[in-house]
């Protein structure tokens, strides 16, 4: 049976949505990897599959482009919410992920806001390989770590243009300190309400943006006392807004757009 998909992006952070409600999902780690190939597949940073759910509008399951699973993706969550709200003509939906139930709402500007849940600040929750203070990690540059359902490591730098993300990022991603590898952020603080962010994404390389990474970077900047509670996070592809009061949930807000829809060829499904 043909597999339909929707290609979307959030400020260039591209993802694919597969709606498998009312059906069995054929998506496996291997198929996700083949779909994620930008030359032989569809190409994406993340894949989200929508599944039936008893206590939410849908349940989401996520993969990186290399076929590895992840618990949450802020951009794809907002994309799925955008689709569901449009089809049902609703102003809000609730989505279940491994982070729990996430409430998503339409904003006054047409974007989507999602409650990403409370950040994970303990060493074992990030997770790290051993007990330590996540505010200042024992690595050169003294980065800060947190979890948003996936691990984040944030470096604060004076000049973002001087950072060679492609060479430094993979080394930090795979350091033994991070039990499940990590997303790596490089942040330049423009002012207390505005940061510039570049990302090395776990299992994905350098994206134009990332919802969960924007959240992780803002949370870590607020924890370090560098930022106010509402932050504009400017990535290579555009800006999102992240709010965190230092105690409760993190709120991610920004635009999402549909690029195209299609079906996967039988040859790719059966490969």
DSSP structure class, residue 162? G
pLDDT of residue 49: 97
CATH of 144-248, one of 3.40.640.10, 3.10.310.10, 3.30.750.210, 3.90.1150.10: 3.10.310.10
Q: How many residues does the chain have?
A: 271
> At a CB cut-off of 8 Å and minimum separation 6, what does 139 contact?
172, 175, 177
Going by C-alpha positions, the residue among 45, 49, 50 that lies closest to residue 65 is 45
Say if CB 178 and CB 128 are below 8 A apart: yes
Say if CB 15 and CB 44 are below 8 A apart: yes
The per-residue pLDDT string of the chain (271 residues; one tens digit each, 9 = 90 and over) reads: 678 999 999 999 999 999 999 988 889 999 999 999 999 999 999 999 999 999 999 999 999 999 999 899 999 999 999 999 999 999 999 999 999 999 999 999 999 999 999 999 999 999 999 999 999 999 999 999 999 999 999 999 999 999 999 999 999 999 999 999 999 999 999 999 999 999 999 977 899 999 999 999 999 999 999 999 999 999 999 999 999 999 999 999 999 999 999 999 887 877 7
pTM higher than 0.75: yes
pLDDT of residue 1: 65
CATH 3.30.1330.10 is right for the domain spanning 3-108+256-270: no
**What stretches of 108-243 show up as alpha helix (H) in DSSP?**
165-173, 211-223
Buried b (16+ CB within 10 A) or exposed e, 104-143: bbbeeeebbbbbbbbbbbebeebebeeeeebeebeeeeeb
Burial (CB < 10 A; 0-12, 13-18, 19+), residue 179, is middle
User: Coil, helix or strand for 103?
Assistant: strand
Residues carrying CATH 3.10.310.10, the chain = 3-108+256-270, 144-248
List the structure tokens of 55: 């206590």
């Amino acid at each position: 049976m043909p597999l339909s998909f929707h290609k979307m992006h959030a400020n260039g952070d591209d993802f694919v949505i597969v709606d498998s409600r009312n059906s069995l999902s054929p998506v496996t780690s291997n198929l996700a990897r083949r779909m994620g190939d930008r030359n032989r597949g569809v190409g994406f940073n993340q894949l989200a599959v929508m599944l039936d759910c008893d206590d939410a509008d849908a349940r989401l399951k996520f993969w990186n482009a290399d076929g590895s699973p992840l618990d949450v993706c802020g951009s794809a969550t907002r994309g799925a919410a955008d689709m569901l709200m449009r089809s049902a003509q609703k102003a809000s939906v609730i989505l279940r992920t491994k982070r729990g139930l996430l409430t998503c709402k339409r904003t006054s500007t047409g974007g989507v806001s999602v409650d990403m849940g409370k950040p994970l600040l303990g060493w074992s929750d990030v997770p790290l390989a051993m007990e330590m203070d996540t505010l200042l990690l024992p690595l050169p540059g003294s980065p800060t770590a947190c979890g948003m359902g996936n691990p984040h490591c944030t470096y604060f730098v004076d000049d973002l243009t001087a950072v060679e993300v492609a060479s430094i990022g993979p080394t930090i991603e795979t350091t033994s300190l991070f039990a499940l590898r990590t997303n790596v952020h490089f942040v330049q603080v423009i002012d207390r309400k505005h940061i510039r962010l570049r990302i090395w994404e776990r299992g994905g390389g350098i994206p134009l943006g990332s919802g969960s990474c924007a959240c992780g970077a803002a949370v870590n900047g607020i924890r370090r006392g560098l930022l106010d509670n509402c932050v504009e996070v400017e990535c290579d592809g555009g800006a999102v807004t992240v709010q965190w009061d230092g105690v409760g949930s993190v709120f991610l807000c920004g635009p999402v757009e549909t690029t195209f829809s299609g079906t996967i060829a039988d040859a790719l499904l059966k490969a």
